[in-house]
Amino acid sequence: MQHPAELSPLGKSSAYVATYSPEQLFPIPRAPKWAELGLTADTLPYRGVDIWNCYELSWLLPSGKPVVAIGEFSIPADSPNIIESKSFKLYLNSLNQSVFDSREALVDIMVRDLSAAAGKPVGVRLRTLDEVSREGVTSQKGYCIDELDVTIEHYDSPRADLLGCDPARQVEECVYSHLLKSNCPVTGQPDWGTVVVEYRGAALDHGSLLAYLVSFRQHADFHEQCVERIFLDLQRLLKPERLSVHARYVRRGGLDINPYRSTESVAPSNGRLVRQ
């Protein structure tokens, strides 16, 4: 079955369009992937957001002088569509030789274009390099499971059967791993990320979680769907009072994508990790 992204610019040669071109944006419906996980738009067991950070953003002032900024885009997790990442990059490239009266005017235009593509309101924030520089690099809180002495045998597809827990012991904790890797479903290129699991529920066996996360290593799927699968597998196992799964992916093409899925209506931190 053809992946919807195969109709997008992903994996194909693309002309560099340097003037404003919203038609570059290519939406991909979330519904087919939700269906694979047994979900519909009306039965999503999580709330959340996909936070995109853009490090290659520029436009022209009315004087003709260029401006550079770092963009932050927040796409609701229940929006009908994701935006294919290369098309997002091509859209941002189209701003390079385009004149906008002000930063506020550009934000308004981007909100309109991105919201139309996603099918729900998208948040847009433009920050100066000095603002982002002052924030620096964030250290991930919680316990890192990467140094556990675990034998790994499965790499080809997510293996929920590897997960284990102790239902008799209830805990509240935050654990993370830098070893998440999956592949683009169209180009086959690797996507690298850090995944953070925060929950209150049956005690998760940390070694089993590490083996499970590594089982994504050769799996082909988009960032958003990988995080949703992790959330659902942990929810079924732990039956938690609360659960959040947050992935911070390494940037490609000047963009990083950071999906967040949670039982809570809490906005995630957008602190940049060292690989981002």
Q: Is residue 269 part of a domain?
A: no
Alpha carbons 188 and 19: distance in angstroms, whole number = 30
CATH (domain of 158): 3.30.1130.10
- The sign one gets for the Cα dihedral 13, 29, 219, 243 is positive
**Partners of residue 161 on adjacent β-strands:** none
Q: What's the confidence (pLDDT) of residue 104?
A: 97
- In whole angstroms, what separates CA 214 from the centre of its chain? 18
Model pTM score = 0.93
* 255 in the same domain as 175: yes
Domain co-membership, 147 together with 190: yes
53 and 21 assigned to the same domain: yes
Q: Which domain-ending residue is among 135, 167, 198?
A: 135
pLDDT, residue 7, reads 54
pLDDT given at position 2 = 46
Mean pLDDT of the chain: 94
Ramachandran bin of 69, using left for φ above 0, alpha for ψ from -120 to 50, beta for the remaining angles? beta
Do 198 and 113 fall within a single domain? no
| Tokens at 249, concatenated | 């992916």
For residue 92, give every residue at least 6 positions away whose Cβ sits within 8 Å of its Cβ, in sequence order, or none: 54, 56, 57, 71, 254
Residue 44 has pLDDT above 90, yes or no: yes
Question: Is pLDDT at 6 greater than 80 in this prediction?
Answer: no
Tell me which residues are annotated as active site: 184, 191
Check whether residue 102 and residue 149 sit in a common domain: no
Q: List CB contacts of 151: < 8 A, sequence separation 6 or more.
A: 211
Tell me the per-residue pLDDT of 174-210, one tens digit each, with 9 for 90 and over: 999 999 999 999 899 999 999 999 999 999 999 999 9
Q: Does residue 3 register a pLDDT over 70?
A: no
Both 105 and 39 in one domain: the answer is: yes
| Structure confidence by residue, pLDDT tens digits, 64-114 | 999 999 999 999 999 999 999 999 999 999 999 999 999 999 999 999 999
**Token pair of 153 as six digits:** 């045998």
The CA angle 193-195-200, to the nearest 5 degrees, is 175
Do residue 114 and residue 184 come from a single domain?
Answer: no
Residue 27 lies in a domain: yes
pLDDT recorded at residue 156: 95
Residues of the chain above pLDDT 90, percent: 92
Domain boundary among 119, 135, 151: 135
Same domain, 96 and 210: no
Show the tokens assigned to 19: 């003037």
pLDDT band at 28 (very low <50, low <70, confident <90, very high): very high
Instruction: Locate 70 and state its tokens.
Output: 């770092």
Give the model confidence (pLDDT) of 209-250 as tens digits: 999 999 999 999 999 999 999 999 999 999 999 999 999 999
Domain-terminating residue out of 118, 135, 152: 135
Domain identity same for 191 and 217 = yes
Q: Does 12 share its domain with 128?
A: yes
Q: Is residue 270 part of a domain?
A: no
Residue 66 and residue 33 share a domain: yes
Q: How many domains does the chain have?
A: 2
In a domain, 267, yes or no: no
Residue 4 is predicted with a pLDDT of 59
56 and 160 fall within a common domain: no
In a domain, 276, yes or no: no
271 alpha carbon, distance to own chain's centre: 14
What pLDDT band is residue 5 in, cutting at 50, 70 and 90?
low
DSSP string, the chain: ---GGGGSSTTS------S--GGG--EEESHHHHHHTT--TT----EEEEEEEEEEEEEE-TTS-EEEEEEEEEEETTSSEEE-HHHHHHHHHTTTT-B-S-HHHHHHHHHHHHHHHHTS--EEEEE-HHHHHHH-PPPPPSEE-TTS-------SS--GGG--EEEEEEEEEEEEEEEEEEE-TTT--EEEEEEEEEEEEEEE-HHHHHHHHHTTTT-B--HHHHHHHHHHHHHHHH--SEEEEEEEEPPBTTEEEEEEEESS--PPP-PPPTT-
Structural domain of residue 130, as residue ranges?
4-135
